[in-house]
């Protein structure tokens, strides 16, 4: 099954194709139980065990990192500067990167699975960072399929010939994914003070989000839409929405015990299922004007009220989430209840 209709392909078996890594994934992926996934030998050799349990050993701590943008954002926030970037949307116009100087990085891919291998090789990365999404609520990892952001296993093999690949497990609790990212960041030389400073901003944003969620009482529908219909995110299965739920955000959750990650509705049934006062629509799918073009959805109260917001989250590090939570708090403060159909 394809976990993202063509665009959000995060879950490898649930949607097609969908660095951190660390001790958190040990329970679900068979990684070592060691508290520290990275180590350096007396001669400077660098060893890191990722969330799949895969060990990477290099002659020295890697300094030239190629990364999928969801993880590169946190690197920039922590003071690291990747030499190559690839993403699921156009990298140069990705608003999540707007506050960072990415001019020194080579953009080698602007849509999911499309990576210019020659340009990547020319950037001479020491390490490539991406993610891996579980295929079910137990945290099962498909270790035979491609990692997140890669078109297929053949492409992944070609990438591994350029540089070793490490993957962050993006599943379960959002706080655990952030911890995993921090483990990798620390292994790449980010100081504890830098992470602590980002954590302080994250905590402040969490308090702001909790206050907004409590006072607004609004329901939020997080979704992806395309010609086939609407894919409704299951909030407990997506680490970002799971994180926001801990701050009191009320997400539409019509079938919590149903299929993993998505509830999928045809356009004929979508309008009566999307019950939120606020619609967060994934950046890769239909946006407000395209939703209005759907005859069975155009009269949705949130759509009519203009409470539709493009959402491009999925960067699970303290700095990025501080920004995302601040933005979601603003949305909740500005929006108002609507009469659901």
pLDDT in tens, 178-236: 999 999 999 999 999 999 999 999 999 999 999 999 999 999 999 999 999 999 999 99
Same domain, 59 and 179: yes
Same domain, 216 and 177: no
Of 190, 219, 243, the residue that ends a domain is: 190
Domain residue limits at 134: 23-190
**Is residue 186 in some structural domain?**
yes
- CATH at residue 73: 3.40.50.1980
Low-confidence ranges of the chain (pLDDT < 70): 1-36, 38-43, 339-341
**Is residue 296 in some structural domain?**
yes
Same domain, 144 and 175: yes
Of 151, 171, 190, the residue that ends a domain is: 190
**Is residue 315 in some structural domain?**
yes
Same domain, 137 and 264: no
- The pLDDT assigned to 7 comes to 39
Same domain, 126 and 224: no
Same domain, 89 and 161: yes
Residue among 147, 175, 333, 310 nearest 241 (CA): 175
**Is residue 11 in some structural domain?**
no
- The pLDDT assigned to 5 comes to 46
**pLDDT by residue (tens digit) across 156-178?**
999 999 999 999 999 999 999 99
Residue among 332, 285, 334, 335 nearest 310 (CA): 285
- The pLDDT assigned to 207 comes to 98
Of 147, 164, 190, the residue that ends a domain is: 190
- The pLDDT assigned to 269 comes to 86
Residue by residue, DSSP assigns 179-191 as HHHHHHHHHTT--
Domain count, the chain: 2
Same domain, 45 and 184: yes
Same domain, 167 and 203: no
- The pLDDT assigned to 185 comes to 98
**Is residue 221 in some structural domain?**
yes
148 contacts: CB under 8 Å, gap ≥ 6? 9, 10, 12, 17, 18, 68, 130, 131, 132, 133, 167, 170
**Is residue 165 in some structural domain?**
yes
Same domain, 54 and 152: yes
Same domain, 142 and 256: no
**What's 71-129 look like in SS3?**
HHHHHHHCCCCCCEEECCCCHHHCHHHCCCCCCCCEEEECECCECCHHHHHHHCCCEEE
| Residues 13/145, Cβ–Cβ less than 8 Å | yes
**Is residue 284 in some structural domain?**
yes
Same domain, 174 and 61: yes
- The pLDDT assigned to 12 comes to 32
Same domain, 157 and 224: no
């Amino acid at each position: 099954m394809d976990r993202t209709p063509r665009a959000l392909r995060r879950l490898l078996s649930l949607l097609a194709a969908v660095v951190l890594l660390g001790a958190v994934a040990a329970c679900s992926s068979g990684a070592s139980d060691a508290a520290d996934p990275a180590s350096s030998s007396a001669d400077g050799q660098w060893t890191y065990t990722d969330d799949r349990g895969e060990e990477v050993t290099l002659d020295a701590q890697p300094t030239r990192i190629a990364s999928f943008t969801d993880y590169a954002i946190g690197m920039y926030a922590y003071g690291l500067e990747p030499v190559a970037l690839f993403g699921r949307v156009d990298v140069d116009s990705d608003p999540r990167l707007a506050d960072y100087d990415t001019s020194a990085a080579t953009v080698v891919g602007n849509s999911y699975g499309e990576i210019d291998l020659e340009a990547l090789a020319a950037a001479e990365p020491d390490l490539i960072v991406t993610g891996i999404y579980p295929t079910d609520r137990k945290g099962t990892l498909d270790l035979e399929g491609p990692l997140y952001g890669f078109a297929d296993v053949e492409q992944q093999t070609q990438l591994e010939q350029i540089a070793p690949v490490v993957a962050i497990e993006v599943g379960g609790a959002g706080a655990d994914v952030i911890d995993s990212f921090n483990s990798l960041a620390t292994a790449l030389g980010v100081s504890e003070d830098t992470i602590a400073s980002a954590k302080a901003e994250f905590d402040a944003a969490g308090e702001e989000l909790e206050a907004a969620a409590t006072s607004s009482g609004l329901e939020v529908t997080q979704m992806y839409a395309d010609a086939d219909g609407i894919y409704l995110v299951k909030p407990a299965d997506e680490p970002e929405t799971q994180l926001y739920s801990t701050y009191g955000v009320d997400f539409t959750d019509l079938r919590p015990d149903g299929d993993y990650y998505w509830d999928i509705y045809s356009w004929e049934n979508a309008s009566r299922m999307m019950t939120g006062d606020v619609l967060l629509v994934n950046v890769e799918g239909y946006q407000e004007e395209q939703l209005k073009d759907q005859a069975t959805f155009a009269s949705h109260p949130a759509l009519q009220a203009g409470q539709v917001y493009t959402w491009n989250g999925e960067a699970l590090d303290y700095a990025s989430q501080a920004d995302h939570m601040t933005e979601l708090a603003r949305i909740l403060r500005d929006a108002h209840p609507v009469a659901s159909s």
